[in-house]
Amino acid sequence: MAGTVPDAVSPMLAVDGLLPDDDRHGYEWKWDGFRGCVRVAATGETRITSRSGSDHTPRYPELGDVFGPALGGRAAVLDGEVVALNAAGRPEFELMQRRAMHEPTPKLRAEVPVVYFAFDLLRIDGESLLTVPYEQRRELLAELVRPADGRIVVPPWYTRADIAPAQLLATAAEHGIEGVVAKRLDAPYLPGARSPLWTKRALTHTDEVIVGGWRPGAGRRAGTLGALLLGAYDDEGALVYLGDVGTGFTDDALDHLSAVLAPLARPASPFDTEVPRDRARGAHWVEPSLVGEVVYRRITPDMRLRHTSWRGLRPDRTPGEIRIPRS
C-alpha cells in the first residue's frame, strides 16, 4: 500500500582488517554516530530503526519530516548513520552521548541537532535493491535522494582512481574522522551479515561492552563512580569479564550513570568468569543490561582490555549482541 512504511532491514557489517588497495573496491569514511535504518512511506511517514531492531524514531524528532521531501514522495529504505556535528562540521560521538542521556527537548535539539548520513539505498518503491551491486546502489542513492536541507547528507565515496586508501586514512587521522570502510563494488547487501565484502579500518580500537558492576571513586571522585566493570559474551554464551574503565567520564556522564545503575543493583557478580580480587573488592554488582562503548589500545591473550577510555552508553545496542572483541 502506498502509505505503508517498509519493513526494516538488518544492517550489513564490515570485518576489521587492512584496507584492500585495488580497483574492485569503493571507499567511504567511517562515521562516528549511531547506525540507523530509515524506512520511509510514500506519504513521508518515517521510522528510524537501530542496529538492534529498536524503534528510535522518538529520539530524533527533527528528522521526521526531512525524508519525504528528499525522496520526492517515493517509498524507500536507507542505511546510514545518525550523527551530531561539532563546530568544525564533523561527527562527534560525545555530542551523540548528550542526546542519548537526555530527552530530546526543543532546547537540546537546538543545542545538539542531529543529521542523517545516508550511505546506502536498500529499497525504492516496491523494489528490493539488496542484490544490486554496491556501486549501482550508491549511484542510485545520489540520483534519488535530493536533500532539502542539511538534516540529511549523502556523503561522498571514492575509488582508487580518485584517491589511494592510505591517503584516505591519513586524511581521516588529520581531520579526526574515525576511519575508512572499503566495500566491494560488485557486492550485494547481506542483511545482518558481517562480511569480508566490507572491510573497516579504524584509527583506534572501539568496541561495545556490557556493564556488570562498578567501583566507588576516590579523591575528587569520592562519593561517586570510580570505574565500571566490563564484559562481553563468548561464543558459548558466557559473560566474560574483560577489565574495567575509569577514565573518559564527564561529570554529566557520571551523574547519568549513577542514576541508571542504581535500580540495576544485584547481590553477586553477573560474570561467568572470575573477577580479580582487587577489582571485585568493594564492587557494586548490577544486572548486565546496559551496553556501553570504550576505546582501548589492545586486548591481551587472557582477555583484558588495556588502556581503556569510556565513550558512553549505547542505547541502540542490546547485551545479547555484544561479543568479545577480536582486536
What residues are labeled active site? 30
Residues 46 and 158: their CA atoms lie apart, in Å, by 29
Residues 65 and 81: their CA atoms lie apart, in Å, by 17
Pair 182, 25: CB distance under 8 Å: yes
Angle, CA 266 vertex, CA 265 and CA 272 arms, to 5° = 125
Residues 58 and 109: their CA atoms lie apart, in Å, by 12
Helix (H, G, I), strand (E, B) or coil at 60: coil
Strand residue runs (E) in the chain: 13-16, 25-30, 34-40, 46-50, 76-84, 114-124, 127-128, 152-153, 158-159, 179-184, 194-202, 205-216, 225-233, 239-245, 265-266, 284-296, 298-299, 305-306, 309-313
Fill in the DSSP letter of residue 303. Answer: S
Relative to beta strand 114-124, strand 152-153 is: parallel
Pair 57, 69: CB distance under 8 Å: no
Q: What is the secondary structure of 242-291 as a DSSP string? A: EEEE-SS--HHHHHHHHHHHGGGEESS---SSPPPHHHHTT-EEEEEEEE
Residue 135 belongs to what H/E stretch?
A: helix 134-144
Q: Residue 186 contacts by C-beta under 8 Å, 6 or more apart in sequence? A: 24, 133, 134, 135
